Structure 1
Amino acid sequence: MKLSVAGGGWRAASLLIAGLALAPIVSLVVVALGGGADLWPHLLANVLPRALLETGQLLLGVGFLVAVLGTGLAWLVTAYDFPGRKLLEGALLLPLAVPTYIVAYAYLDLLHPIGPVQVFLRDLLGYDSPHDFRLPEIRSMGGCILVLGFVLYPYVYLPVRAMFLTQAAGLIEASRTLGVSRTGVFFKVALPLARPAIAAGMALALMETLNDIGASEFLGVRSLTISIYTTWVTRSDLPGAAQIALAMLLVVIALVSLERWARRHQRYAASSQRMRVMVPQRLPHTSGSLVLLLGLLPILIGFAAPASYLAVQAWRRVAFAGISPAIRVETLNTVMVSAIATVIVLAAGMAVAYAARLRPGPLSGVLGRVSALGYAVPGTVLAIGLLTPVTLVDRALVDVTRSWFGIAGGLLLLGSGAALVYAYAARFLAISTGGLEAGFSRIPLSLDQASRVLGKTAGGTLGRVHLPLSKPALAAAALLVFVDCMKELPASLLLRPLNFETLATHLYGEAARGTYEDAALAALIIVVIGVAPVILLARLGRQKSAS
Structure 2
Amino acid sequence: MTQFFRRLPWWQGIASLIALCVAAPIITLVFYAFGGDVGHWAHLAQFVLPNAMKNTLILLLGVGIVVTLLGVGAAWLVTAYDFPSRKALSWALLLPLAVPTYIVAFAYLDILHPIGPVQGLIRDVMGYSSPREFRLPDLRSLGGAIFLLGFVLYPYVYLSTRAMFATQSANLLEAARVMGESGRSVFFRVALPLARPAIAVGISLALLETLNDIGASEFLGVQTLTVSIYTTWVTRSNMAGAAQIAIAMLVIVASLITLERYGRRKQAYTSQIRSRPIQAQRLRGAPMLLAIGLGWAPITLGFFIPALYLIQETHKYLDRAGALSAQLVASAINTVSIALFATLLTVVCGLVVAWAGRRIRNADRPVYGLTMARISSLGYAIPGTVLALGLLTPLVLFDDFYNRIASWLGIPSSGLLLMGSSAALVLAYTMRFLAISVGGTEAGLQRIPPSLEQASRLLGETPASTLYRVHLPLLRPAIGAAALLVFVDAMKELPATLLLRPSNFETLATWLYAEAARGTYEEGAVAALAIVAVGLVPVILLARTQLMNTGKSS
| TM-score of the aligned structures, taking structure 1 as reference length | 0.97
Pairing 1:60-139 to 2, within 5 Å after superposition: 60-139=61-140
**Amino acid corresponding to residue 291 of structure 1 in structure 2:** A
Structure 2: distance between partners of 1:147 and 1:40: 33
Pairing 1:150-161 to 2, within 5 Å after superposition: 150-161=151-162
Determine if the alignment matches structure 1 residue 149 to structure 2 residue 150: yes
Structure 1 equivalent of residue 403 of structure 2: 398
Structure 2: distance between partners of 1:460 and 1:262: 42
* Contact 2:197/2:267 (<8 A) preserved: no
* Contact 2:167/2:550 (<8 A) preserved: no
Q: CA deviation at 1:373?
A: 0.6
Determine if the alignment matches structure 1 residue 459 to structure 2 residue 464: yes
Structure 2 equivalent of residue 255 of structure 1: 256
Residue-by-residue CA offset, 1:124-165 (whole Å, 9 max, x unaligned): 222111111111100001000000000000111111111111
Pairing 1:55-454 to 2, within 5 Å after superposition: 55-264=56-265, 266-321=266-321, 322-360=323-361, 361-405=366-410, 407-454=412-459
Q: CA deviation at 1:244?
A: 0.5
Structure 1: distance between partners of 2:371 and 2:147: 38
Residue-by-residue CA offset, 1:426-474 (whole Å, 9 max, x unaligned): 1100000000000011111111111122222211111111111111111
Q: 1:217 to 1:454 in 2, by over 3 A?
A: same
Structure 1: distance between partners of 2:414 and 2:465: 40
Residue-by-residue CA offset, 1:460-517 (whole Å, 9 max, x unaligned): 1111111111111111000000001011100000001111100001111111121112
* Contact 1:330/1:503 (<8 A) preserved: yes
Q: CA deviation at 1:178?
A: 1.7
- The number of residues matched between the two structures is 543
SS in 1 for 2:502: coil
Q: CA deviation at 1:269?
A: 4.1
**Amino acid corresponding to residue 546 of structure 1 in structure 2:** K
SS in 1 for 2:278: coil
Residue-by-residue CA offset, 1:207-226 (whole Å, 9 max, x unaligned): 00000000000001000000
Q: CA deviation at 1:545?
A: 3.5
Structure 1: distance between partners of 2:227 and 2:175: 51
**Amino acid corresponding to residue 387 of structure 2 in structure 1:** L
Residue-by-residue CA offset, 1:75-113 (whole Å, 9 max, x unaligned): 100000001000000000000000000000000000000
Q: CA deviation at 1:5?
A: 9.7
Q: CA deviation at 1:398?
A: 2.7
Q: CA deviation at 1:176?
A: 1.5
Q: CA deviation at 1:334?
A: 0.5
- The one of 528, 537, 548 equivalent to 1:542 is 548
SS in 2 for 1:130: coil
Structure 2 equivalent of residue 521 of structure 1: 526
**Amino acid corresponding to residue 301 of structure 2 in structure 1:** I
Percentage of identical aligned residues = 58
**Range 400-409 or range 389-398, more displaced:** 400-409
Q: CA deviation at 1:543?
A: 2.0
**Amino acid corresponding to residue 124 of structure 1 in structure 2:** V
* Contact 1:25/1:385 (<8 A) preserved: yes
Structure 1: distance between partners of 2:518 and 2:242: 24
Which aligned runs of 4 or more in structure 1 are off by greater than 6 angstroms? 4-7
**Amino acid corresponding to residue 482 of structure 2 in structure 1:** A
* Contact 1:317/1:518 (<8 A) preserved: yes
**Amino acid corresponding to residue 143 of structure 1 in structure 2:** G
Q: CA deviation at 1:406?
A: 6.5
Structure 1: distance between partners of 2:480 and 2:6: 30
SS in 1 for 2:415: coil
Q: 1:519 to 1:122 in 2, by over 3 A?
A: same
Structure 2: distance between partners of 1:256 and 1:5: 34
* Contact 1:11/1:355 (<8 A) preserved: yes
Q: CA deviation at 1:34?
A: 2.1
SS in 1 for 2:138: coil
Structure 2: distance between partners of 1:260 and 1:357: 23
Structure 1: distance between partners of 2:205 and 2:515: 29
SS in 2 for 1:38: helix
Structure 2: distance between partners of 1:340 and 1:406: 27
Q: CA deviation at 1:185?
A: 1.1
**Amino acid corresponding to residue 221 of structure 1 in structure 2:** V
| TM-score of the aligned structures, taking structure 2 as reference length | 0.96
**Range 352-361 or range 284-293, more displaced:** 284-293
Structure 1: distance between partners of 2:74 and 2:114: 32
Q: CA deviation at 1:286?
A: 3.8
Structure 2: distance between partners of 1:453 and 1:356: 21
**Amino acid corresponding to residue 430 of structure 2 in structure 1:** A
Structure 2 regions of 5+ residues with no counterpart? Answer: none
Residue-by-residue CA offset, 1:340-367 (whole Å, 9 max, x unaligned): 0111110011011111222211110000
Structure 1: distance between partners of 2:261 and 2:449: 31
* Contact 1:212/1:225 (<8 A) preserved: yes
Structure 2: distance between partners of 1:269 and 1:380: 38
Structure 2: distance between partners of 1:437 and 1:407: 43
**Amino acid corresponding to residue 54 of structure 2 in structure 1:** L
**Amino acid corresponding to residue 26 of structure 2 in structure 1:** I
Q: CA deviation at 1:397?
A: 2.3
Determine if the alignment matches structure 1 residue 473 to structure 2 residue 497: no
Structure 1: distance between partners of 2:403 and 2:16: 28
Structure 2: distance between partners of 1:263 and 1:358: 28
Structure 2: distance between partners of 1:178 and 1:101: 49
SS in 2 for 1:349: helix
**Range 273-282 or range 75-84, more displaced:** 273-282
Structure 2: distance between partners of 1:82 and 1:162: 19
Structure 2: distance between partners of 1:242 and 1:57: 22
* Contact 1:82/1:285 (<8 A) preserved: no
